[in-house]
Structures are given as structure tokens and as C-alpha cells.
Structure 1
Amino acid sequence: MSTLKRVAVANEKLPPLNALRYFEAVARLGSFAAAANELHVTHWAVGKQIRLLEDWFGVPLFERRARGVVPTDEGTTLLGDVNGAFARLGTSVGRLRRESVTRRIRGVVRVNALASFALCWLIPRMADFQALYPDIDVRLSTTSRRLRYVSDAFDIGVRSGLDDAAGLKSSILMPDLRLPVCSPKALISHPVGTVADLRNHTWLHSASTRTAWSEWLREAGEAAMQGARHLHFDHVFLQLAAATEGLGVSLASLPLIEREIATGRLVCPLPGPVWRGPDYTMIVNVDRADDEAVKAFRKWMVTAARVSCRSSTK
């Protein structure tokens, strides 16, 4: 059989590829509306593509809930395969990208992010950006102030939740998915197999996530439950550091602890429920939106966030 015939036969076995793109966005964002916003299409168009895919497979791929949608068992299996295929495709595209195109871009990008996001998510990835764009100077600052009050002292910002104002353009970067996490040694004396087992542990809190535990417990059906002790910290990164050192259990943002999970320094003793906090949002200063260096950083961060989302939902 010729190569062209083999390709044709293989294509006959594939589902609608554009629908898979819509499926991945809905599964990652947990919402048809959010997927429509990211893909720059209507809510109706997203629904049509998902229905097309469900008809092709003959099974429902999403379970509709009051606060959004979650993949069914079949949808979860498909998502794993789709993420793997997209990751391999991304690797191939990256190899083919002409480095000379990126290396011609020069300039300065001023990034203002939440301290925890900068320390735990952005800085560990900065070497990748520098390798792609060695002539772009990234100047990183941190604050939790609303960016409308930071004036024009930034080009790109990252916040928790939307920060719309005149001169700013906001878009969802990635969802903030949270689960209880702890050091493996914290489970030696007090194993956790159910939500109720968490009452035997110290719970870790931060000033900016005061309501996180109560929100998660409500999702878990244990709204009145309390931990054995409570420790409070000023910053999220201190809270996560305390969890890593075995001081207790933290309700952690999964994108911020990818390295710790990958290395085994932190574990998620329970598979769910996964609580979704306010989305991480990228805010662009519209006066600098057309600058080539700013566009390069924005595109790179969106791509990195997509890879991070796939890792967090595995």
C-alpha cells in the first residue's frame, strides 16, 4: 500500500480534528463559555462541535453541572489521548520553528505578577523564554495591587480574576484548580484516604486565600469540618513551603506546584473534589499591546500556560 493510501485509510479512522480542539479547550477550562472566549467563537459554535464529537463517538463526553462541565469517564480517557497528541505535535512544531525569526526581536517587557505566581510558576520557566528570545529584556516586578492603580508601569500583568479597566485588556490565562497537598512524610502517621481523614492534620492558610478551605470543604460535603490545628502565613509561597516541609496540609493551586508534584516533594492524597478558584488572568497594557517584544512574551506565556494546564489535569 502506498504512503498516500495509508494516510487516507488512517484519516478515515480519525474523529473531526477541529472538534478535538474545541473539546480540549472545554475540558481544560471547564466551561463552554470560557472555551468560546478563548477560541474567539460563539457559545453555540462550541456546543455544535462538542455534539459533533459526541455523535461520532456515540457517547457523552461531558457531564453538565451548575458551575460548568466536567469530562465523563469516556471524556477523561479521550482527554489524556488528545493532550498527548497535542504535546507531541507541539514538540514537532517547535523543532521546525526557525530560530532566526525569534532571535530578530529585541526590546523590553515589563511584567507585573502576583508574588506567588512569579516565584512558583513564571521564574522556573523564564530560561525557556530567554533561549527563544535572547534579545528581549524581561523586567519582573511583583505586587497584589489592582493593575489599574499601577498606572502604566507595566506591559503585561498576571492577576487572580479579571482586572478590567480603561487601557487594560484582560483574558483568562489558565484555571486555578486546587486540591489538598502535603509532604509524603505528613501521611506516615496520619494517612488520608477520605476527606474526613483531613481532620487529623494541621491546615495551612495564607492571607490571600482565607476562604479557600471553606470553599473546598463545601464542595466536598464537609462544610463544618475543622483541622487539628491551623497555621497562617502572609503569602501563598510561604504556605506552600510549609507544606513541602511537612508542617501540614495546604489547599494548593495545582499550576503553582507542578515541580513539587513531579519530584514527589508534594503529593495530592485525595483525587477530588477539585475546586476552581478565580482564574489566572493576563492583563495587557493596550498602549504596548502591539510592541513586538510584548507580543512575543504574551504568546510564549499563553503557550506555556496551555502545557501547564495539561500537566495539572493529568
Structure 2
Amino acid sequence: MVNKSHVMPDDDIVNARTRLPPLNALRSFEAVARQGSFAAAAADLNVTHWAVGKQIRLLEDWFGLALFERRPRGVKLTDEGAALLGDVGVAFERLSSGADRLRGGRPSRQVSGAVRVNVLVSFALHWLLPRLPDFHALYPGIEVRISTTSRKLRYIGDAFDIGVRSGPEEGAGLVSHPLMADERLPACSPALLRQHPIRTAADLEKHTLLHSASTRGAWAQWLAQAGAPRLRAARHVEFEHVFLQQAAALEGLGVTLASLPLIERELAAGRLVCPLSAPVWSAPAYTLVLNAERGKDPAVETFREWMIRGGLSSKR
């Protein structure tokens, strides 16, 4: 039975709807903001690049202001767009929570099975594992088996259901979907910053720059974007893995060019800081790679949807 005291009068419902921007356009807006380009958003939504562009123009016309800065490589949120994204993210999260409450958790909790997840070590340590307890609480009937490697998934065969890689992978039986943008900024411990402040890119010459074997060219590309391509740092130290590079930054050994989605917790806790807000260097987006033969399995499909929701929240 419906509690009528909680039901809005018809006139109020109509007035509320007239104040809302087009909801399909908001969905496209969120996807472009998360992916960093119209093309990646179109792939994520399974629509054309033209359709996404049309929805963004519709939304910008509705507000009467620009939400994105168009750039040669992708787009960047304007200040107004960033403010809107925060509100849209909260609204989508509330809708998702409301739907879960209405369902009472019954359909999700009844899903059972196993899903084999193959991810990069750094992604597992800093993104997936901290979120995994939430997944187990939501879906106790699903067993998650995690393996880590940087090998191309096409060489692993059918020994995985879902993988996460930097950029898409092509191969028979593989389906790639963008998960979230991999944006990077210099990051270091607060103690290191107190010793030698970093106000411009030129100040990095007083610091040790931290590298990893898989990201050797990242600093050079960032410095070129920052207008300091010939900068000579005090020292360079290279590690075999990205997670060691990040651990070194936490210990105050130098400055790393960090993947922002992977240092969310460290930034929130104040263990790492980003002294410079620009330029933001974009690496290939984190991508979900599905084993097409297992894509319709309920456990695999549930885990995939949960991962995508996590990618949305990481953008906020």
C-alpha cells in the first residue's frame, strides 16, 4: 500500500519535471566526463559519436553555457561542467541506492557462481582490493578469483572472464569497454613538499623523479606538456613495478607521476599530495576486457556492472 503522505501532488511532479534537464543528455554528459572524449563515451554507451555530440549540444543549449572545453585530443570539463558532474554523480548514486532498497537486495543476493578476474598488479592493489569487501557484502554468493599479470589477455586464452588493462585489447573472443580515464599528475608526500616546495614544473629540478619500467616515457611527455622538456631533475630512480614506484613516493623518496584513480585513498587521507594541478597527462584509459564466451554468465555480468559503477564513482 502506498503511503500517500510521501506522494507529491500531480502539479508538483509536473513542475519538478519541467525544471529537469534532458535525462538522456545527462547520461551522455556523465559518460563523456568519465571517459574524457566523445568517442570513448559513444563506445561505452553503444551509440555513435554523432549521437553523443548531439546530446551534449542539447544539454549546453539547455543550460546556456559550455560544459566542456574541446581540445585536439579529447575534452576537459569547464568549471561549470565540473560542478554539474558532482551533482549528476550524487543523483545517479541516489537512484542506484533507491533501486537497491526497492529490490530489497533479493535479485542481486541470489546471484551465485564464480568470476575470474585478471588485472594489473597496481590496479589490484590500489583500486580493486579496497573495493572488494563492498562487492562481497552485496553479492555473497559470487566467488571472485583474482590473478595479476601485465601480459596481453589474448595470450591467456580462456583462463579469465574479465580483465582490466591500459587501453583496449583486440583478439578473437575479446570485447573491450572503457572503464575510466587514466589521468596523471605529479604526486609526493607532504613532508617532501615541505622540504622543497613545488610551485611550477621548474621546481622539479630539486627533486628525485620516480619511474617504473612500464612508464619510462611518462615523465618526458608530462614535462613537454608543462613547457619544461629539458628539465634536469636532481636524480632519477626506476622501479620494476608501478606499485613500488607509488610506495616510494609514500615513503618520501621522490615525486611520482601518479594515476589519479589509483591514489584516491592516499589523497583523501593526506598521505600524498598533488602540488601541481596542470597539465594533466592522459595515459590510455583503463579498459574492461571481457571473455565473450563468458559475458552472459550472471556472475560475470554482475561483476562487470559493479566494476562500471566503481569507475563512475572514481570520477567524482
TM-score scaled by length of structure 2: 0.93
Alpha-carbon separation, structure 2, partners of 1:218 and 1:126: 38
Alpha-carbon separation, structure 2, partners of 1:101 and 1:69: 38
Question: Residue 41 of structure 1 aligns with which residue?
Answer: 47
Shift, 1:228, TM fit: 1.2
Question: Residue 283 of structure 1 aligns with which residue?
Answer: 289
**What whole-Å deviation, never above 9, does each CA across 1:240-285 have from its counterpart, x for those lacking one?**
1111111111000011111111111111111111111011111111
Distance 1:198 1:135, change over 3 A: same
Alpha-carbon separation, structure 1, partners of 2:13 and 2:296: 41
One-letter amino acid of the structure 2 residue matched with residue 160 of structure 1: S
After superposing the two structures, state which structure 1 stretch, 190-199 or 83-92, moved more.
Answer: 83-92
**Residues 35, 178 of structure 2: 8 Å contact kept:** no
After superposing the two structures, state which structure 1 stretch, 68-77 or 133-142, moved more.
Answer: 68-77
Alpha-carbon separation, structure 1, partners of 2:103 and 2:188: 40
Q: Name the SS of the counterpart of 1:60 in structure 2.
A: coil
Alpha-carbon separation, structure 2, partners of 1:104 and 1:205: 45
Alpha-carbon separation, structure 1, partners of 2:16 and 2:105: 32
Alpha-carbon separation, structure 2, partners of 1:13 and 1:167: 45
Alpha-carbon separation, structure 2, partners of 1:290 and 1:109: 12
Alpha-carbon separation, structure 1, partners of 2:97 and 2:260: 23
Shift, 1:117, TM fit: 0.6
Alpha-carbon separation, structure 2, partners of 1:88 and 1:221: 42
**Residues 35, 285 of structure 2: 8 Å contact kept:** no
**Residue 93 of structure 2 corresponds to residue 87 of structure 1:** yes
**Residue 182 of structure 2 corresponds to residue 182 of structure 1:** no
- What runs of 5+ residues in structure 1 fail to find an aligned partner? none
Question: Residue 12 of structure 2 aligns with which residue?
Answer: 6
Q: Name the SS of the counterpart of 2:190 in structure 1.
A: coil
**Residue 56 of structure 2 corresponds to residue 50 of structure 1:** yes
**Residues 208, 255 of structure 2: 8 Å contact kept:** yes
One-letter amino acid of the structure 1 residue matched with residue 69 of structure 2: E
Shift, 1:168, TM fit: 1.1
Alpha-carbon separation, structure 2, partners of 1:193 and 1:128: 38
Shift, 1:113, TM fit: 0.7
Question: Residue 217 of structure 2 aligns with which residue?
Answer: 211
- What runs of 5+ residues in structure 2 fail to find an aligned partner? 1-7
Distance 1:157 1:66, change over 3 A: same
One-letter amino acid of the structure 2 residue matched with residue 13 of structure 1: R
Distance 1:97 1:238, change over 3 A: farther
One-letter amino acid of the structure 2 residue matched with residue 4 of structure 1: D
One-letter amino acid of the structure 1 residue matched with residue 20 of structure 2: L
Shift, 1:85, TM fit: 2.5
Q: Name the SS of the counterpart of 1:199 in structure 2.
A: helix
Q: Name the SS of the counterpart of 2:278 in structure 1.
A: coil
Identity of aligned residues (%): 63
**What whole-Å deviation, never above 9, does each CA across 1:182-224 have from its counterpart, x for those lacking one?**
1111111111112211221111111111111111112212122
After superposing the two structures, state which structure 1 stretch, 73-82 or 292-301, moved more.
Answer: 73-82
Question: Residue 256 of structure 2 aligns with which residue?
Answer: 250
Shift, 1:300, TM fit: 1.0
Question: Residue 4 of structure 2 aligns with which residue?
Answer: none
One-letter amino acid of the structure 2 residue matched with residue 89 of structure 1: L
Q: Name the SS of the counterpart of 1:111 in structure 2.
A: strand
One-letter amino acid of the structure 2 residue matched with residue 223 of structure 1: P
Match of 1:172 among 156, 174, 178: 178
**Residue 75 of structure 2 corresponds to residue 69 of structure 1:** yes
Q: Name the SS of the counterpart of 2:145 in structure 1.
A: strand
After superposing the two structures, state which structure 1 stretch, 209-218 or 88-97, moved more.
Answer: 88-97
Alpha-carbon separation, structure 1, partners of 2:100 and 2:233: 47
Alpha-carbon separation, structure 1, partners of 2:100 and 2:126: 25
Q: Name the SS of the counterpart of 1:185 in structure 2.
A: helix
**Residue 146 of structure 2 corresponds to residue 151 of structure 1:** no
Alpha-carbon separation, structure 1, partners of 2:202 and 2:102: 51
**What whole-Å deviation, never above 9, does each CA across 1:141-173 have from its counterpart, x for those lacking one?**
111111111121111111111111001111111
Alpha-carbon separation, structure 1, partners of 2:141 and 2:147: 19
One-letter amino acid of the structure 2 residue matched with residue 174 of structure 1: M
After superposing the two structures, state which structure 1 stretch, 277-286 or 52-61, moved more.
Answer: 52-61
| Root mean square deviation of aligned Cα | 1.5
Distance 1:51 1:103, change over 3 A: same
